[in-house]
Amino acid sequence: MPEIDNNLVRIRDLHFSRGHSKIFNGIDIDIPKGKITAIMGPSGTGKTTLLKLIGGQLKPQRGTVFFHGEDIPSMKTKKLYEVRKKMGMLFQSGALLTDMSVFDNIAFPMREHTELPEVMIRDMVLMKLQAVGLRGARDLNPSQLSGGMARRVALARAIALDPEMILYDEPFTGQDPISMGALVELIRSMNDALELTSVIVSHDIHETLAIADKIYIISQGKVVGHGSPQEMNQSDSPWINQFVHGEADGPVPFHYPACSYKDDILQGV
Amino acid sequence: MSNSRTLEIAVGIFVAVGIAALLVLAVNVSNVGGLSSGSQYTIRANFDNISGLKTRSAVAIAGVTVGRVVNISVDPITFEAVVEMTINSSFSEVPVDSSAGIYTAGLLGEKYIGIEPGGAPDFLEEGSVIRLTQSSIVLEKLISQFLFSQSNDDKK
Amino acid sequence: MFDWFAQLGKNTIEFYARLGKEILLFIQTLLAFGPVLMRPGLITQQLYSIGVRSMLIIIVSGFFVGMVLGLQGYNTLVDFGAEESLGVVVALSLVRELGPVVTALLYAGRAGSALTAEIGLMKATEQLSGLEMMAVNPVERILAPRLFAGIISMPLLAAMFSAVGIFGGYLVGVDLLGVDEGSYWSQMQAKVDYDKDIVNGVIKSFVFGIVTTWIAVYEGYKCIPTSEGVSRATTRTVVYSALVVLGLDFLLTALML
């Protein structure tokens, strides 16, 4: 199948629900190798959940998530941990270990998974820190970092083991314009320089459209549209239009489901 | 890394102090260091009545604890109490004709076995039996005997 | 009518499902002791934050509890003219009951709550998730070393508590109230039994170590990852630990008598 060669991750017919609420109701997503794929959608559509499903932290009720042609949900724990070494994930908060310095945080995956001598680890950590421009901050504690810096350190940690794919969970949320620009630049250059496959989950439409090669828009448990950024901008689908142009009302209603306003008001009388 | 060194030292002190405390409890507070260690020999004695004597009760010569009661059973034929006791080997020269009695430490204290040394040239050894025994004084019997003798006196 | 049965059935199934998960996690943590023992550095770190940091409160409390026992014991015993037995009273109450139990209660408040808060915050800030995605098993890296260090620490702390308490009782009884020093120690040594009292006390504190540390670690690991969730989990740790320790104490005492 030539498809497997081009696509690092292939999601088919994925169903996932938490309690009674259905989060995904049969979605298909292909993530091509070496490209930046963005998964977008309004908040609460389970974009982070999707990343956790790809990382094997959650198990879907139905459906498959192929990574390199192997189905992640049906993997045994040990195999899953092997596969995760090929993935890096950038969490929204950075998820740096608070009881160690920036340096030790980046050295952490290397110390856990390799038998490299400390001298070599030091060189590699400094290399990764240089890449994100924070070599001077190596002795700081995570609590001393700003949000943008913490995310850059987390990025350096995510590439510590030279993964094939990086999952970004809302990398742009709550960043000032400067660090936002720095992150956009970093994600793009990392992807090209290290021949990574990137998956970005975000609802920051402009930044994401600027760097993504392929975009999926998810709403109410379904993929409502996908294509290149140009296709998205020109699409006439009401779902995509509402999202891309930020309209308050549309297929995704402004109002939370409720009985009619008139009835509700009159009931109080 | 001086930081991890201080940490290691602190943990080392913690573990050492903890083990020292355990040792203090074992050796200084309880009786483990005293009699149960070292070699011992077992002797037996038969009593008519041992009421109140328990296993681990003390065995004393002239008030000095030299051993412990390890087992109490009843002889199925004579219906006497058979008391087995271990004596510390450092008290190996107890004459065979010594007598054993059951006494009480203080008025309300615990029962213990007191051994009165005899004068024979041979000594007690592993498996020996003390022939001369004096049973435990049962307070109720003593009182009732006293009351009976009183009433008998009254009748005269 | 059937709704009621359905609800009952559902609750029962959920209860056992949860219990099963808890037991599974506990077994996974115990199994992770193997790999953890290969990395003593992790345990040393936890021995420091669990054991060393609890030492001060344990020693100070033990000292005061011992002094109170000396004072109260003396006042009761002197009525019977039995103040020579003060050493026995102090030592037996400490070694058999107060040492393991009070240490476990203090431990739950000092180390247990800190453990829950630490792990809960790690969960709230996605650090546990982060570890998983870095292919590091949090059960192995976070839970197991803490449980192991807790199990080691508790008997040591309880022994310190008892030893210091006996010394405190000695200070009050002998130095302050004039009990004969010789009889304080000798009566104690004659009446405190190694197998029955000391070993049973150590067994108790060992069990308490497993239970309280597990409660703390588990509550942190399973808490709702918000600031409210963490604070509730911390409270639960202290409350559950206290209840379980006191209940288990009765059970263990009855079993070992």
State how far the Cα of B101 lies from the Cα of C96, in Å rounded to an integer.
33
What tokens appear for B11 in the block? 């943990």
Closest CA to A58 of A40, A73, A46, A71: A73
Q: Which of C125, C132, C137 sits opposite A57 (nearest CB)?
A: C132
Contact residues on chain A for C136, CB-CB shorter than 8 A: 108-109, 112
pLDDT tens for A53-75 read 888 888 888 888 888 888 888 88
More confident call, C97 vs A241: C97
The amino acid occupying position B33 is: G
Domains of chain A, earliest start first = 2-82+207-267 (3.40.50.300)
Query: Residue B108: what pLDDT?
Result: 62
CA distance C6 to chain A (A): 17
C130–A95 C-beta distance less than 8 A: yes
pLDDT tens for A199-214 read 988 888 888 888 888 8
Whether C212 maps to a domain, the answer reads: yes
A91–C126 C-beta distance less than 8 A: yes
pTM given for the model: 0.79
Report the chain A residue with the minimal C-alpha distance to residue C137.
A81
Query: Residue C157: what pLDDT?
Result: 95
Whether C13 maps to a domain, the answer reads: no
What tokens appear for A47 in the block? 């974009």
Whether C220 maps to a domain, the answer reads: yes
Closest CA to A231 of A246, A244, A247, A218: A244
Query: Residue C165: what pLDDT?
Result: 95
pLDDT band at B133 (very low <50, low <70, confident <90, very high): confident
Q: For A129-133, B107-111, C151-155, which range has the lowest pLDDT when averaged over its residues?
A: B107-111
Angle between helix axes C144-170 and C2-31 (nearest 10 degrees) is 80
C156–B15 C-beta distance less than 8 A: yes
Averaged pLDDT, B90-95: 83
More confident call, B108 vs C205: C205
C129–A52 C-beta distance less than 8 A: yes
Range of the domain at C153: 32-256
CA distance B107 to chain C (A): 12
C113-150 burial: b if 16+ Cβ within 10 Å, else e: bbbbbbbbbbbbbbbbbbbbbbbbbbbbbbbbbbbbbb
Residues in contact with C90: Cβ distance below 8 Å, sequence separation at least 6, in sequence order: C66, C69, C70, C73, C165, C166, C169, C170, C173, C188
Report the chain C residue with the minimal C-alpha distance to residue B35.
C190
Contact residues on chain B for C197, CB-CB shorter than 8 A: 30
**C66, pLDDT greater than 60:** yes
Q: What is the mean pLDDT of chain C?
A: 91
CB-based contact (8 Å) between A163 and chain C?
no
State how far the Cα of B58 lies from the Cα of C190, in Å rounded to an integer.
9
Cβ(A183)–Cβ(A140) under 8 Å? no
Residues in contact with B55: Cβ distance below 8 Å, sequence separation at least 6, in sequence order: B68, B69, B70, B71, B72
Contact residues on chain C for B30, CB-CB shorter than 8 A: 95, 189, 192-194, 197-198
Q: How far is CA C206 from CA A168, A170, B71, C110, C137, in A?
A: 45, 46, 31, 17, 26
Other CB atoms closer than 10 Å to residue B4's CB: what's the count?
Answer: 12
Which among A201-205, C39-43, C170-174 has the top mean pLDDT?
C170-174
Whether C17 maps to a domain, the answer reads: no
The amino acid occupying position A179 is: S
Residues in chain A where the model's pLDDT stays below 70: 1-5, 269
The rounded percent of chain A whose pLDDT value lies above 70 is 97
CA distance B30 to chain C (A): 5
CA distance C43 to chain A (A): 15
Q: What is the count of residue pairs from A and C with beta carbons less than 8 Å apart?
A: 52
B26–C156 C-beta distance less than 8 A: no
Place of tokens 């008001």: A265
Cβ(A15)–Cβ(A24) under 8 Å? yes
The amino acid occupying position C170 is: Y
CA distance C146 to chain B (A): 14
B19–C163 C-beta distance less than 8 A: no
Whether C8 maps to a domain, the answer reads: no
Cβ(A35)–Cβ(A197) under 8 Å? yes
**C250, pLDDT greater than 80:** yes
State how far the Cα of C137 lies from the Cα of C128, in Å rounded to an integer.
9
Query: Residue A3: what pLDDT?
Result: 47
Contact residues on chain C for A95, CB-CB shorter than 8 A: 125-127, 129-130
pLDDT tens for C205-216 read 999 999 999 999
CB-based contact (8 Å) between A114 and chain C?
no
Report the chain A residue with the minimal C-alpha distance to residue C39.
A112
**C199, pLDDT greater than 50:** yes
Query: Residue B2: what pLDDT?
Result: 53
Q: What is the sign of the dihedral through the CA atoms of A121, A126, A127 and A131?
A: positive
Report the chain B residue with the minimal C-alpha distance to residue C154.
B18
Query: Residue C230: what pLDDT?
Result: 94
Whether C94 maps to a domain, the answer reads: yes
CB-based contact (8 Å) between C38 and chain A?
no
* List of E strands, B75-131: 81-88, 99-104, 111-116, 129-130
Give the angle subtended at the CA of C6 by the CAs of C1 and C10, to the nearest 5°: 155
Averaged pLDDT, C94-114: 94
Total tally of structural domains belonging to chain C? 1
Q: Which residues pair with B125 in a beta bridge?
A: none
Other CB atoms closer than 10 Å to residue C62's CB: what's the count?
Answer: 29
State how far the Cα of A225 lies from the Cα of A183, in Å rounded to an integer.
26
- Does the predicted interface ipTM exceed a cut of 0.85? no
Query: Residue B31: what pLDDT?
Result: 66
Question: Do chains B and C touch by CB distance (3+ pairs < 8 Å)?
Answer: yes
Whether C10 maps to a domain, the answer reads: no
Whether C208 maps to a domain, the answer reads: yes
pLDDT band at C232 (very low <50, low <70, confident <90, very high): very high
What tokens appear for C50 in the block? 């669990």
Cβ(B88)–Cβ(B35) under 8 Å? yes
